[in-house]
Chains A and B, each alone.
Chain A
């Protein structure tokens, strides 16, 4: 059964700090790894990673995938209070009858204090 584990479970930082969120996975027929941000409602898409070693970047957020060691990290630099949210990691596998079904980790709850 596919499995995604995120760490830490929660994190409290101050504005301006840099944080690293971790995601490890076990999946048969890996297709991609995705990061989402969830603020009390719909998860919003951040990144999709399919290849090892290629960093995806969007503003202060960046992410990279290691398919050999089966993990990904999400970095947030110069954190702001608006970054406070639950960050979800998910994996997609090649399954002919399940489309792009995602298996999610439990999330990391980030709180950024002013």
Chain B
């Protein structure tokens, strides 16, 4: 499968625990995005990487959220001290810089449930 891959697909955690999600983009894509989607809503942009550089992170929801892409390939999204309001689908997408119009390919998402 050469699409965007996310792991795990589902995560149940207790409030206060830390969680980390992984995204493997399409191999030749240098741009990587994280989005959050809550029930009944469209995806909401969180952060963006071009290669290993995190160029936009002001829309991360709080300082409990952080993301890395250390070698410009896979990325991780970490949520510290999870709260019930963090329960959502976390989607990763990737694109080529040459996709000027914005076409991005999404992974299957990680569904987080905080109990």
Q: Which A residues have a C-beta under 8 Å from some C-beta of B?
A: 4, 31-32, 34, 36, 41-45, 48, 50, 88, 90, 92, 95, 97-107
Contacts and interface: CB of A to CB of B under 8 A. Distances in A.
Given A31-B101, A106-B42, A42 B55 contact: no
Interface size class of B (residues with CB under 8 A): 20 to 34
Contacts of B74: none
A4 B109 CA distance: 22
Contacts of B107: 42
B102 A97 contact: no
Contacts of B42: 4, 88, 90, 104-107
Contact of B106 (A31, A42, A105): A42
Interface in B1-34: 4, 31, 33
A54 B103 CA distance: 18
B56 A101 contact: yes
B33 A101 contact: yes
B99 interface: yes
A34 B43 CA distance: 13
B91 interface: yes
